[in-house]
Amino acid sequence: GAVVSQHPSWVICKSGTSVKIECRSLDFQATTMFWYRQFPKQSLMLMATSNEGSKATYEQGVEKDKFLINHASLTLSTLTVTSAHPEDSSFYICSAPGGWAGESDTQYFGPGTRLTVL
């Protein structure tokens, strides 16, 4: 199956700083990627859809100025958490659809990034 990577796998930062998380599709191109957030013992919540060459679309309740998304190329999307606060501490996961013939409806997830804001 297709491979999606994320970097960093974990990060600890001080309150008020910004953190950038990268999501890469390693062996396929992804015009669309999705960003999720997962709090402990809860399910994944879709934050936004990252679109290559155009603006991201955000889910209701997600602040676009706080969670900046840039889909710089067909294999890279970045999520920047600006002015991070302790309540932003969470597990952030990206996904990309398909990649292989016959699997275009499958979404593959990156390994996730654990963000802890002190």
- Residues in touch with another protein (CB under 8 A): 1, 32, 34, 42-46, 49, 91, 93, 95, 97, 105-112, 114
Q: CB of 65 within 8 A of CB of 48?
A: no
The CB-side HSE value for 115 (13 A sphere, CA atoms) comes to: 30
Q: How far is the CB of 14 from another protein (least distance, A)?
A: 23
Between 14 and 60, name the residue whose CB sits nearer to another protein.
60
Q: Which is nearer to another protein, 38 or 82 (CB)?
A: 38
Instruction: Return the bridge partners of 69, or none.
Output: 79
Least Å from the CB of residue 4 to another protein: 9
Query: Please, which residue, 76 or 82, has the CB nearer to another protein?
Result: 76
d(CA 83, CA 96): 27
Shortest CB 25 distance to another protein, Å: 14
φ, ψ dihedrals at 38, nearest 5°: -135, 120
